[in-house]
Amino acid sequence: MEPDKAKVVIKLNGKLIPFVVDNADEPYFREANDMLSDRLATLQSDYSAHADTQMLVSVLAVEALVDGLKVNERYQKLRSEVQGRLDIIQGKFND
């Protein structure tokens, strides 16, 4: 393994999924593992009578994607607002 890489094993639904990630990303994968485990446990507690584990893992994936899309949308709005303010400031210097 490369020196700037780390091995992270995610345990999801009793399965071990190995990843080789940049050292800087390792804490995110470990936190994601904890978050996925906690959310899957909640879903299993609430919906195990109505859905099998594979369905619940699919729900996790959809929820994560939706969260990522929402974060990206908020980032783009914030970026646009900051750029607008910077343009106003720059305009004051140009005048």
**Interior/surface letters 49-73, b for 16+ CB within 10 angstroms, e for the rest:** eeeeeeebbeebeeeeeeeeeeeee
User: pTM of the entire structure?
Assistant: 0.75
Cα–Cα distance for residue pair 91/89, rounded to 1 Å: 5
Question: 40 lies in which domain range?
Answer: 5-94
Tally of domains within the chain:
1
Q: Per-residue pLDDT tens for 13-49?
A: 889 999 999 999 999 999 999 999 999 999 999 988 8
